[in-house]
Amino acid sequence: MNKTDYIKGWALVVASFVVVFAFSTVDHAISPLVELLGAFFNTTTERTLWLISSCTAGIVLGLFVGPQCLKTVPVSRVLWISLVMMAGGIWVFVSTPYFALSLLIRFIFGLGAGLFSTILWWLTFEAINKRFYIPMITVLAAARPMAVAAGVPLVLYGQTRFSWRISFAIMGVLITLFCVLFSWAEPTDKKEKSPFTLKALSGTYIAAWKTPHLPAFFTAMFINRLCYFGFYSMLGLWFIGHYHLSTAELAKPLMVIGICETVINFIVPVLMKIGQKKLFYLSVILNSLLFSFFAWGILPLWTTIALIGLFAMTDRIYSMLLLVFIPNIFSTSQDRTTIGSLVTLVSWTSLMLISWIEGSFLQYIGFQTMETLLLLCLIGSFTLYLRMLNKTVFSVLQK
Protein backbone atom coordinates (compact mmCIF):
# COMPACT_ATOMS: atom_id res chain seq x y z
CA MET A 1 0.00 0.00 0.00
CA ASN A 2 1.46 3.36 -1.00
CA LYS A 3 1.45 6.43 1.26
CA THR A 4 -1.46 8.15 -0.50
CA ASP A 5 -3.72 5.12 -0.21
CA TYR A 6 -2.78 4.77 3.45
CA ILE A 7 -3.64 8.40 4.16
CA LYS A 8 -6.92 8.12 2.24
CA GLY A 9 -7.83 4.94 4.12
CA TRP A 10 -7.53 6.64 7.49
CA ALA A 11 -9.23 9.76 6.11
CA LEU A 12 -12.25 7.60 5.24
CA VAL A 13 -12.31 6.06 8.72
CA VAL A 14 -12.07 9.44 10.45
CA ALA A 15 -14.57 11.13 8.11
CA SER A 16 -17.06 8.28 8.52
CA PHE A 17 -16.76 8.49 12.29
CA VAL A 18 -17.28 12.26 12.49
CA VAL A 19 -20.26 12.31 10.11
CA VAL A 20 -22.01 9.46 11.96
CA PHE A 21 -21.12 11.12 15.28
CA ALA A 22 -22.57 14.45 14.15
CA PHE A 23 -25.88 13.24 12.74
CA SER A 24 -26.32 10.82 15.67
CA THR A 25 -25.72 13.68 18.10
CA VAL A 26 -28.46 15.73 16.48
CA ASP A 27 -30.82 12.75 16.48
CA HIS A 28 -30.22 11.67 20.08
CA ALA A 29 -30.33 15.23 21.41
CA ILE A 30 -34.07 15.46 20.62
CA SER A 31 -35.10 13.33 23.63
CA PRO A 32 -33.33 15.33 26.38
CA LEU A 33 -34.39 18.60 24.71
CA VAL A 34 -38.10 17.73 24.55
CA GLU A 35 -39.18 20.47 26.96
CA LEU A 36 -37.24 23.20 25.14
CA LEU A 37 -38.28 21.95 21.70
CA GLY A 38 -41.91 21.61 22.82
CA ALA A 39 -41.88 25.24 23.95
CA PHE A 40 -40.06 26.38 20.80
CA PHE A 41 -42.55 24.65 18.49
CA ASN A 42 -45.54 25.32 20.77
CA THR A 43 -46.50 21.67 21.09
CA THR A 44 -46.67 19.03 23.84
CA THR A 45 -43.49 17.38 25.05
CA GLU A 46 -44.85 13.93 24.13
CA ARG A 47 -45.69 15.02 20.59
CA THR A 48 -42.20 16.46 20.26
CA LEU A 49 -41.03 12.82 20.08
CA TRP A 50 -42.49 12.82 16.55
CA LEU A 51 -39.33 14.71 15.59
CA ILE A 52 -37.55 11.41 16.24
CA SER A 53 -40.00 9.27 14.29
CA SER A 54 -40.10 11.63 11.28
CA CYS A 55 -36.31 11.60 11.05
CA THR A 56 -36.26 7.83 11.45
CA ALA A 57 -38.82 7.47 8.66
CA GLY A 58 -36.37 9.30 6.40
CA ILE A 59 -33.48 7.08 7.54
CA VAL A 60 -35.55 3.96 6.84
CA LEU A 61 -36.43 5.16 3.34
CA GLY A 62 -32.79 6.09 2.66
CA LEU A 63 -31.60 2.68 3.80
CA PHE A 64 -34.31 0.94 1.80
CA VAL A 65 -33.58 2.62 -1.54
CA GLY A 66 -29.87 3.17 -0.88
CA PRO A 67 -28.51 -0.15 -2.19
CA GLN A 68 -30.41 0.24 -5.45
CA CYS A 69 -29.36 3.91 -5.72
CA LEU A 70 -25.72 2.83 -5.58
CA LYS A 71 -26.40 0.41 -8.44
CA THR A 72 -27.88 3.28 -10.47
CA VAL A 73 -25.94 6.43 -9.56
CA PRO A 74 -22.19 6.89 -8.85
CA VAL A 75 -21.39 6.82 -5.15
CA SER A 76 -19.89 10.32 -5.30
CA ARG A 77 -23.21 11.75 -6.49
CA VAL A 78 -25.17 9.95 -3.77
CA LEU A 79 -22.69 11.35 -1.23
CA TRP A 80 -23.30 14.95 -2.30
CA ILE A 81 -27.06 14.43 -2.29
CA SER A 82 -26.88 13.05 1.26
CA LEU A 83 -24.68 15.99 2.33
CA VAL A 84 -27.22 18.54 1.07
CA MET A 85 -30.02 16.71 2.87
CA MET A 86 -28.16 16.34 6.17
CA ALA A 87 -26.39 19.69 6.51
CA GLY A 88 -29.14 21.63 4.75
CA GLY A 89 -31.74 19.86 6.85
CA ILE A 90 -30.03 20.91 10.09
CA TRP A 91 -29.67 24.54 9.07
CA VAL A 92 -33.31 24.83 7.95
CA PHE A 93 -34.52 22.98 11.08
CA VAL A 94 -32.90 25.49 13.43
CA SER A 95 -34.41 28.36 11.44
CA THR A 96 -38.10 27.42 11.41
CA PRO A 97 -40.51 27.68 14.38
CA TYR A 98 -43.27 25.71 12.62
CA PHE A 99 -43.72 22.16 13.94
CA ALA A 100 -45.31 20.66 10.81
CA LEU A 101 -42.51 22.04 8.62
CA SER A 102 -39.90 20.84 11.11
CA LEU A 103 -41.25 17.30 10.80
CA LEU A 104 -40.73 17.46 7.03
CA ILE A 105 -37.22 18.88 7.45
CA ARG A 106 -36.35 16.13 9.92
CA PHE A 107 -37.57 13.55 7.39
CA ILE A 108 -35.26 15.02 4.73
CA PHE A 109 -32.36 15.06 7.20
CA GLY A 110 -33.03 11.40 7.99
CA LEU A 111 -33.21 10.50 4.30
CA GLY A 112 -29.73 11.94 3.79
CA ALA A 113 -28.43 10.06 6.84
CA GLY A 114 -29.92 6.81 5.50
CA LEU A 115 -28.23 7.27 2.14
CA PHE A 116 -24.91 8.00 3.85
CA SER A 117 -25.29 4.87 5.98
CA THR A 118 -25.75 2.83 2.81
CA ILE A 119 -22.52 4.31 1.45
CA LEU A 120 -20.77 3.19 4.64
CA TRP A 121 -21.99 -0.40 4.18
CA TRP A 122 -20.75 -0.28 0.56
CA LEU A 123 -17.42 1.08 1.72
CA THR A 124 -17.02 -1.50 4.49
CA PHE A 125 -17.98 -4.64 2.59
CA GLU A 126 -16.99 -3.83 -1.00
CA ALA A 127 -14.63 -0.90 -1.43
CA ILE A 128 -12.26 -0.13 1.45
CA ASN A 129 -8.85 -1.77 1.68
CA LYS A 130 -9.00 -4.82 3.96
CA ARG A 131 -6.42 -3.20 6.22
CA PHE A 132 -9.12 -0.75 7.31
CA TYR A 133 -11.97 -3.28 7.64
CA ILE A 134 -11.76 -3.61 11.44
CA PRO A 135 -11.46 0.18 12.00
CA MET A 136 -14.58 0.68 9.86
CA ILE A 137 -16.50 -1.95 11.83
CA THR A 138 -15.43 -0.13 15.00
CA VAL A 139 -16.71 3.14 13.54
CA LEU A 140 -20.07 1.57 12.74
CA ALA A 141 -20.33 0.16 16.26
CA ALA A 142 -18.91 3.00 18.34
CA ALA A 143 -19.81 6.32 16.65
CA ARG A 144 -23.45 6.40 17.82
CA PRO A 145 -22.62 5.57 21.48
CA MET A 146 -19.90 8.24 21.36
CA ALA A 147 -22.55 10.70 20.22
CA VAL A 148 -24.56 9.86 23.35
CA ALA A 149 -21.47 10.04 25.57
CA ALA A 150 -19.96 13.24 24.23
CA GLY A 151 -22.06 14.83 21.49
CA VAL A 152 -25.38 15.09 23.33
CA PRO A 153 -23.84 16.43 26.58
CA LEU A 154 -21.97 19.03 24.49
CA VAL A 155 -25.25 20.08 22.86
CA LEU A 156 -26.92 20.34 26.28
CA TYR A 157 -23.97 22.33 27.60
CA GLY A 158 -24.06 24.51 24.49
CA GLN A 159 -27.77 25.10 25.08
CA THR A 160 -27.00 26.61 28.48
CA ARG A 161 -24.16 28.78 27.09
CA PHE A 162 -25.79 30.03 23.88
CA SER A 163 -28.63 27.92 22.39
CA TRP A 164 -29.45 24.43 21.10
CA ARG A 165 -29.91 25.94 17.63
CA ILE A 166 -26.26 27.04 17.45
CA SER A 167 -25.14 23.65 18.78
CA PHE A 168 -27.11 21.89 16.04
CA ALA A 169 -25.71 24.25 13.40
CA ILE A 170 -22.16 23.37 14.50
CA MET A 171 -22.98 19.71 13.87
CA GLY A 172 -24.10 20.73 10.38
CA VAL A 173 -20.71 22.34 9.80
CA LEU A 174 -18.94 19.15 10.93
CA ILE A 175 -21.04 17.06 8.54
CA THR A 176 -20.16 19.39 5.66
CA LEU A 177 -16.41 19.46 6.33
CA PHE A 178 -16.01 15.73 6.78
CA CYS A 179 -18.27 14.78 3.87
CA VAL A 180 -15.90 16.87 1.72
CA LEU A 181 -12.97 14.92 3.22
CA PHE A 182 -14.82 11.67 2.55
CA SER A 183 -15.37 12.74 -1.08
CA TRP A 184 -11.64 13.36 -1.53
CA ALA A 185 -10.67 9.95 -0.12
CA GLU A 186 -13.47 7.69 -1.37
CA PRO A 187 -12.49 4.75 -3.62
CA THR A 188 -13.46 4.83 -7.26
CA ASP A 189 -16.89 3.37 -7.92
CA LYS A 190 -16.21 1.00 -10.82
CA LYS A 191 -19.49 -0.92 -10.85
CA GLU A 192 -21.59 -0.86 -13.98
CA LYS A 193 -24.82 1.06 -13.42
CA SER A 194 -28.35 -0.02 -14.28
CA PRO A 195 -31.67 1.87 -14.32
CA PHE A 196 -33.49 2.36 -11.02
CA THR A 197 -36.75 0.41 -11.18
CA LEU A 198 -39.24 -0.71 -8.56
CA LYS A 199 -38.85 -4.26 -9.88
CA ALA A 200 -35.10 -4.22 -9.28
CA LEU A 201 -35.56 -2.63 -5.85
CA SER A 202 -38.15 -5.13 -4.70
CA GLY A 203 -36.22 -8.03 -6.25
CA THR A 204 -33.21 -7.31 -4.02
CA TYR A 205 -35.25 -7.64 -0.85
CA ILE A 206 -37.43 -10.52 -2.07
CA ALA A 207 -34.28 -12.50 -2.80
CA ALA A 208 -32.81 -11.59 0.59
CA TRP A 209 -36.01 -12.56 2.44
CA LYS A 210 -35.81 -16.07 0.97
CA THR A 211 -32.43 -16.61 2.67
CA PRO A 212 -32.79 -19.35 5.32
CA HIS A 213 -33.30 -18.02 8.87
CA LEU A 214 -33.42 -14.38 7.72
CA PRO A 215 -37.12 -13.77 8.61
CA ALA A 216 -36.63 -15.22 12.11
CA PHE A 217 -33.43 -13.25 12.71
CA PHE A 218 -34.82 -9.87 11.70
CA THR A 219 -38.20 -10.41 13.37
CA ALA A 220 -36.36 -10.97 16.65
CA MET A 221 -34.18 -7.91 15.98
CA PHE A 222 -37.19 -5.70 15.23
CA ILE A 223 -38.93 -6.66 18.49
CA ASN A 224 -35.69 -6.33 20.45
CA ARG A 225 -35.02 -2.82 19.20
CA LEU A 226 -38.53 -1.74 20.25
CA CYS A 227 -37.33 -2.01 23.85
CA TYR A 228 -33.88 -0.50 23.39
CA PHE A 229 -34.90 2.43 21.20
CA GLY A 230 -38.21 2.81 23.00
CA PHE A 231 -36.42 3.47 26.27
CA TYR A 232 -33.88 5.80 24.62
CA SER A 233 -36.65 7.74 22.85
CA MET A 234 -38.43 8.59 26.08
CA LEU A 235 -35.24 8.82 28.18
CA GLY A 236 -35.44 12.59 28.57
CA LEU A 237 -39.10 12.49 29.60
CA TRP A 238 -38.40 9.42 31.76
CA PHE A 239 -35.70 11.16 33.80
CA ILE A 240 -37.82 14.31 34.06
CA GLY A 241 -40.91 12.35 35.10
CA HIS A 242 -39.27 9.96 37.60
CA TYR A 243 -36.39 12.05 38.93
CA HIS A 244 -37.46 15.65 38.09
CA LEU A 245 -34.19 16.49 36.34
CA SER A 246 -33.82 19.69 34.35
CA THR A 247 -32.58 19.73 30.77
CA ALA A 248 -29.10 20.79 31.92
CA GLU A 249 -28.99 18.06 34.58
CA LEU A 250 -29.60 15.39 31.93
CA ALA A 251 -26.10 15.89 30.51
CA LYS A 252 -24.25 13.92 33.23
CA PRO A 253 -26.44 10.77 33.13
CA LEU A 254 -26.32 10.66 29.35
CA MET A 255 -22.55 11.09 29.35
CA VAL A 256 -22.07 8.22 31.83
CA ILE A 257 -24.43 5.93 29.88
CA GLY A 258 -22.78 6.81 26.58
CA ILE A 259 -19.28 6.19 27.94
CA CYS A 260 -20.36 2.74 29.15
CA GLU A 261 -21.83 1.94 25.76
CA THR A 262 -18.74 3.18 23.95
CA VAL A 263 -16.07 1.48 26.05
CA ILE A 264 -17.68 -1.96 25.84
CA ASN A 265 -17.26 -2.02 22.05
CA PHE A 266 -13.50 -2.37 22.56
CA ILE A 267 -13.82 -4.97 25.34
CA VAL A 268 -16.16 -7.44 23.62
CA PRO A 269 -13.34 -9.15 21.62
CA VAL A 270 -11.60 -9.94 24.93
CA LEU A 271 -14.82 -11.16 26.56
CA MET A 272 -15.38 -13.56 23.64
CA LYS A 273 -12.57 -15.70 25.01
CA ILE A 274 -15.00 -17.18 27.55
CA GLY A 275 -16.99 -18.60 24.65
CA GLN A 276 -19.43 -16.88 22.32
CA LYS A 277 -22.40 -19.03 23.33
CA LYS A 278 -21.80 -18.50 27.06
CA LEU A 279 -21.26 -14.80 26.54
CA PHE A 280 -24.47 -14.43 24.56
CA TYR A 281 -26.55 -16.24 27.18
CA LEU A 282 -24.95 -14.26 30.00
CA SER A 283 -25.48 -10.91 28.28
CA VAL A 284 -29.16 -11.46 27.41
CA ILE A 285 -30.00 -12.73 30.92
CA LEU A 286 -28.26 -9.78 32.57
CA ASN A 287 -29.79 -7.36 30.06
CA SER A 288 -33.37 -8.41 30.85
CA LEU A 289 -32.72 -8.46 34.63
CA LEU A 290 -31.13 -5.00 34.58
CA PHE A 291 -34.03 -3.51 32.63
CA SER A 292 -36.57 -5.01 35.03
CA PHE A 293 -34.68 -3.43 37.97
CA PHE A 294 -34.43 0.17 36.73
CA ALA A 295 -37.35 0.54 34.29
CA TRP A 296 -39.82 1.67 36.95
CA GLY A 297 -37.67 4.58 38.18
CA ILE A 298 -37.95 3.66 41.87
CA LEU A 299 -34.25 3.23 42.72
CA PRO A 300 -31.92 6.09 43.76
CA LEU A 301 -30.84 8.22 40.81
CA TRP A 302 -27.18 7.20 40.54
CA THR A 303 -27.98 3.54 41.20
CA THR A 304 -30.39 3.77 38.28
CA ILE A 305 -27.81 5.46 36.07
CA ALA A 306 -25.28 2.72 36.88
CA LEU A 307 -27.82 0.02 35.99
CA ILE A 308 -28.74 1.77 32.74
CA GLY A 309 -25.03 1.95 31.90
CA LEU A 310 -24.70 -1.81 32.49
CA PHE A 311 -27.87 -2.37 30.45
CA ALA A 312 -26.32 -0.43 27.55
CA MET A 313 -23.12 -2.47 27.87
CA THR A 314 -24.88 -5.85 27.83
CA ASP A 315 -26.93 -4.65 24.85
CA ARG A 316 -23.73 -3.87 22.98
CA ILE A 317 -22.30 -7.30 23.86
CA TYR A 318 -25.10 -9.40 22.39
CA SER A 319 -25.62 -6.97 19.50
CA MET A 320 -21.96 -7.26 18.46
CA LEU A 321 -22.11 -11.03 18.86
CA LEU A 322 -25.06 -11.11 16.48
CA LEU A 323 -22.97 -9.23 13.90
CA VAL A 324 -20.21 -11.80 14.40
CA PHE A 325 -22.75 -14.62 13.93
CA ILE A 326 -24.17 -13.23 10.64
CA PRO A 327 -21.69 -14.99 8.27
CA ASN A 328 -22.49 -18.35 9.90
CA ILE A 329 -26.25 -17.78 10.16
CA PHE A 330 -26.48 -16.73 6.50
CA SER A 331 -23.69 -18.88 5.12
CA THR A 332 -25.59 -19.43 1.85
CA SER A 333 -26.12 -15.73 1.13
CA GLN A 334 -24.33 -14.11 -1.80
CA ASP A 335 -25.42 -10.57 -0.87
CA ARG A 336 -23.98 -9.76 2.57
CA THR A 337 -24.11 -6.00 1.86
CA THR A 338 -27.90 -6.12 1.68
CA ILE A 339 -28.03 -8.17 4.89
CA GLY A 340 -25.75 -5.62 6.59
CA SER A 341 -28.00 -2.83 5.36
CA LEU A 342 -31.02 -4.72 6.70
CA VAL A 343 -29.49 -4.65 10.19
CA THR A 344 -29.65 -0.86 10.16
CA LEU A 345 -32.93 -0.73 8.23
CA VAL A 346 -34.80 -3.02 10.64
CA SER A 347 -33.36 -1.27 13.69
CA TRP A 348 -34.37 2.19 12.51
CA THR A 349 -37.81 0.96 11.43
CA SER A 350 -38.27 -0.22 14.99
CA LEU A 351 -37.20 3.19 16.30
CA MET A 352 -39.58 4.95 13.91
CA LEU A 353 -42.53 2.88 15.12
CA ILE A 354 -41.86 3.04 18.87
CA SER A 355 -41.08 6.78 18.92
CA TRP A 356 -44.35 7.45 17.03
CA ILE A 357 -46.28 5.25 19.49
CA GLU A 358 -44.73 7.03 22.47
CA GLY A 359 -45.37 10.44 20.94
CA SER A 360 -49.02 9.51 20.32
CA PHE A 361 -49.96 7.51 23.43
CA LEU A 362 -47.46 8.02 26.25
CA GLN A 363 -49.41 10.94 27.72
CA TYR A 364 -52.50 8.71 27.91
CA ILE A 365 -51.12 5.34 29.05
CA GLY A 366 -48.32 6.63 31.30
CA PHE A 367 -44.77 5.42 31.96
CA GLN A 368 -45.66 2.23 33.84
CA THR A 369 -47.67 0.73 30.99
CA MET A 370 -45.01 1.65 28.44
CA GLU A 371 -42.24 0.25 30.64
CA THR A 372 -44.14 -3.04 30.93
CA LEU A 373 -44.63 -3.26 27.16
CA LEU A 374 -40.93 -2.61 26.53
CA LEU A 375 -39.93 -5.33 29.01
CA LEU A 376 -42.25 -7.81 27.29
CA CYS A 377 -40.67 -6.93 23.93
CA LEU A 378 -37.21 -7.52 25.37
CA ILE A 379 -38.03 -10.95 26.82
CA GLY A 380 -39.97 -11.98 23.69
CA SER A 381 -37.09 -11.01 21.39
CA PHE A 382 -34.58 -13.02 23.42
CA THR A 383 -36.83 -16.06 23.18
CA LEU A 384 -36.94 -15.72 19.38
CA TYR A 385 -33.20 -15.10 19.12
CA LEU A 386 -32.32 -18.18 21.15
CA ARG A 387 -34.68 -20.45 19.19
CA MET A 388 -33.07 -19.34 15.94
CA LEU A 389 -29.47 -19.43 17.20
CA ASN A 390 -29.87 -22.90 18.71
CA LYS A 391 -30.82 -24.13 15.22
CA THR A 392 -27.83 -22.43 13.57
CA VAL A 393 -24.74 -21.05 15.30
CA PHE A 394 -24.99 -22.67 18.73
CA SER A 395 -25.42 -26.16 17.29
CA VAL A 396 -21.81 -26.02 16.03
CA LEU A 397 -20.16 -24.01 18.80
CA GLN A 398 -18.28 -25.99 21.40
CA LYS A 399 -18.80 -23.40 24.13
pLDDT for 398 beyond 70: no
Q: Which range has highest mean pLDDT (156-165, 331-340, 376-385)? A: 376-385
SS3 readout for the chain: CCHHHHHHHHHHHHHHHHHHHHHHHHHHCCCCCHHHHHHHHCCCHHHHCHHHHHHHHHHHHHHHHHHHHHHHCCHHHHHHHHHHHHHHHHHHHCCCCCHHHHHHHHHHHHHHHHHHHHHHHHHHHHHCCHHHHHHHHHHHHHHHHHHHHHHHHHHHHHHHHCCHHHHHHHHHHHHHHHHHHHHHHCCCCCCCCCCCCHHHHHHHHHHHHCCCCHHHHHHHHHHHHHHHHHHHHCHHHHHHHHHCCCCHHHHHHHHHHHHHHHHHHHHHHHHHHHCHHHHHHHHHHHHHHHHHHHCCCCCCHHHHHHHHHHHHHHHHHHHHHHHHHHHHHCCCCCCHHHHHHHHHHHHHHHHHHHHHHHHHHHHHHHHHHHHHHHHHHHHHHHHHHHHHHHHCCCCCCCC
Res 171: pLDDT: 93
Poorest-confidence range of 29-38, 281-290, 336-345?
A: 336-345
Average pLDDT over residues 238-257: 86
Architecture of domain 3-185+196-391: Up-down Bundle (1.20)
The proportion of the chain whose per-residue pLDDT surpasses 70, expressed as a percent, equals: 98
pLDDT for 341 beyond 80: no
- pLDDT confidence tier of residue 175, bands split at 50, 70 and 90: very high
Res 399: pLDDT: 46
The whole-model pTM stands at 0.79
Average pLDDT over residues 169-183: 94
Average pLDDT over residues 9-22: 93
Average pLDDT over residues 23-37: 87
pLDDT for 101 beyond 80: yes
Mean pLDDT of the chain: 88
Average pLDDT over residues 4-16: 90
User: How does pLDDT run across 279-324, given as a tens digit for each residue?
Assistant: 999 999 999 999 999 999 999 999 999 999 999 999 989 988 888 7
> 357 vs 143, which has greater pLDDT?
357
pLDDT for 331 beyond 90: no
Average pLDDT over residues 79-87: 94
- pLDDT confidence tier of residue 372, bands split at 50, 70 and 90: very high
- pLDDT confidence tier of residue 88, bands split at 50, 70 and 90: very high
